[in-house]
A and B are shown apart, each in its own frame.
Chain A
């Protein structure tokens, strides 16, 4: 046997196994081929979450609702933080929805590689599926909590404008942000287990540099674009614009900056993840 046969690459149906070096291609086509697995893993996560606790559905509501109550008392009533002319409860709840979507998706995605360790060390599939599926499964909580928001909009007699059409894109932007950061953290966590302890701290800080409890309009105008480098700024203020019609805190350039950063984080996260991928099975 000579090595020449190995030189004739890429015949269909033939898998070549060899060491990869440095940065490698993303192989997004593999992802498409395994789309059913993405679906099944997402479905598993959702099913298990709502099966394990009867309170599953309730939890999805309690978290944003209680946060809203506490924020309304302390930030809205006591600290008298302005709320761009809408009642503070709905002002904060509208922000909490995408924020909790982002932070919970980020937290499950970051832990996902380590918690699926057994699967990863036994079966081959594109590893990116694992964080991807866990981000997707977080969407269900979001939609459950969204029902409360609809109720609140009736209560406060807020009629959404045509701007509501932005909503799907904004949800997507929140998911892209969570996925991008999730790729980074999940790969890092395989390597450095203490990243897990760092996560709550990171999300807590992140929440305060995101206009959740206060409006972005509190930030001086000239700093707004810099402020929008946090992709969640664009998402959260975009949500308020789309649902409550507030215009003081958001501008198209801000959305564009936020989106640009989110996509940049996603792409870099994908490449970093792929680069680390070959070591996963060795380290888990």
Chain B
């Protein structure tokens, strides 16, 4: 037959949105059945349903590298989970020709008490490798992870970098015919990411079939030649990568740069502070989660105060996706603001700040918010309120296709002088 690696036909996945918690308890269930037997029988879970993915069809030949892009909640992970058989589709069919290896996460099943050596075997087995296969590749895995002296140390003593390297090393030596990869590259330091990307492009160039999901447009551009774009569970485009990335970045599929707070998410202790929303805006004042390194990034925190608050400061944390702090800043940092807003009256506010253009490096950033009165009370904090991606197009140093270390990418004023 043909060179078909994989074919997906009208795949759909429906999820329940549970009314309250995700888990029911037996006690609740019994009460429910006793109270209203008819209703329970008609709608056993008592929940609303929504389609995380629907009517998605595509096929892929052996040796192709396909990127899957889309904003959060577009159905990317659901698609990967279906293809790796972690979840079952609600409708549709798929056929896969060959062994699938899925990397939805690195280090699945790693146990902190076990040594590096033991975890290699355990993790390898979980990923579907045979013992003989692991034994054969063992030295290679250890060499790749650069942890050779610590191979017989329990991994709980490892630094997070060592842990990630080992975990990725095992995954990277999985040799299935079809590899399904989620954003495993979004973790680890720049050096590690570079190494992962290198390994991934080796895999791709070896003629293996790869499906690769990422938020990182530069990784997508480096690794894939074709992409599909998902939006709200639907497939909106399949095109060659440059075209798809362009479409994705310009058509604002990523307009989700907004986090709204529902009243149920706000703890009672936050009173009188009531967060309304956090937004990220680009140069054109459009709410988006995809920004350019060369444009200013505006961050807005919208909130209501039920009563007057003394000494309130509303601020942001900016973190990398690994959780390293880049900066912390409050709206009353400037002494004159601190004077002017000694007491903030009850009302509806927006606190807004701008990170200047040419500040952030490419990658994913997380914004946390915090509303507090210093030494008095922390009203509200959300460490991971919203995240956004920065694309390095036009940033300094783009003539070299390498990952730049560090979260910042300022345009520094270099001078080159010849010394006599």
How many residues on B have C-beta within 8 angstroms of the other chain's C-beta atoms? 48
CA distance A273 to B310 in the complex (A): 58
Please determine whether B93 and A6 come into contact, CB atoms closer than 8 angstroms: yes
Bound state CA distance, A118 and B86, in angstroms?
11
Given A15-B100, A18-B94, A44-B114, also A119-B29 (CB < 8 A): no
Interface 9-mer from B119-127, B139-147, B294-302: B119-127
Residue of chain B at shortest CB distance from A47: B114
Q: How many interface residues does chain A have, given as a range?
A: 35 or more
Residue of A nearest to B22 (CB): A283
**How many whole Å from B272's CB to the nearest CB in chain A?**
35
Pair B86/A18 contact, Cβ less than 8 Å: no
Q: CB of B221 within 8 A of chain A? A: no
For A57-89 the 0/1 string (1 means CB < 8 A from B) is: 000000000000000000000000000000000
Q: B84 interface residue, CB < 8 Å from A?
A: yes
- Residue B90 at the chain A interface, CB threshold 8 Å: yes
B19-65 contacts to A, CB under 8 A, are 22-27, 29, 57, 59
B96 and chain A: residue at smallest CB distance: A15
Q: Across the interface, do B97 and A192 meet the contact criterion of CB distance under 8 Å?
A: no
Are B88 and A20 within 8 A (Cβ)?
Answer: yes
- A222 interface contact, C-beta 8 A: no
Are A193's CB and B25's CB within 8 A?
A: yes
| Contact of A123 with B93 in the complex, beta carbons under 8 Å | no
Interchain CB contact under 8 A, B97 and A13? yes
A6 B126 Cβ-Cβ under 8 A: no
> CB-defined interface of B276-301 with A at 8 Å, one 1/0 digit per residue?
00000000000000000000000000
What residue of chain A has the Cβ atom nearest to residue B98's Cβ? A13
Chain B residues within 8 Å of A44, by CB: 111, 114, 118, 122
Determine if A22 is an interface residue (Cβ-Cβ < 8 Å): no
For window 66-109 of B, CB contacts with A under 8 Å fall at 81-98, 100, 102, 104-105, 108-109
Q: Which residues does chain B contribute within 8 Å of A194, judged by CB atoms?
A: 25-27
With known contacts A17-B82, A193-B25, A48–B114 Cβ distance under 8 A:
yes
A36-B130, A40-B125, A281-B87 given as contacts; is B26 within 8 A of A14 (CB)? Answer: no
Contacts of B89 in A (CB 8 A): 17-19
Nearest A residue to B106 via CB reads A122
**Which residue from chain B places its CB closest to the CB of A16 in the assembled complex?**
B95
Closest to B85 in A: A124
Would A192 and B29 be within 8 Å (CB), given that A1-B9, A19-B90, A48-B113 are in contact?
yes
14 A-B contact pairs sorted by A residue (CB < 8 Å): A1-B7, A1-B9, A6-B93, A17-B83, A18-B94, A39-B125, A44-B114, A51-B114, A118-B109, A123-B86, A123-B108, A124-B86, A192-B29, A195-B26
B-side residues, CB < 8 A to A, are 7, 9, 15, 22-27, 29, 57, 59, 81-98, 100, 102, 104-105, 108-109, 111, 113-114, 118, 121-122, 125-128, 130-131
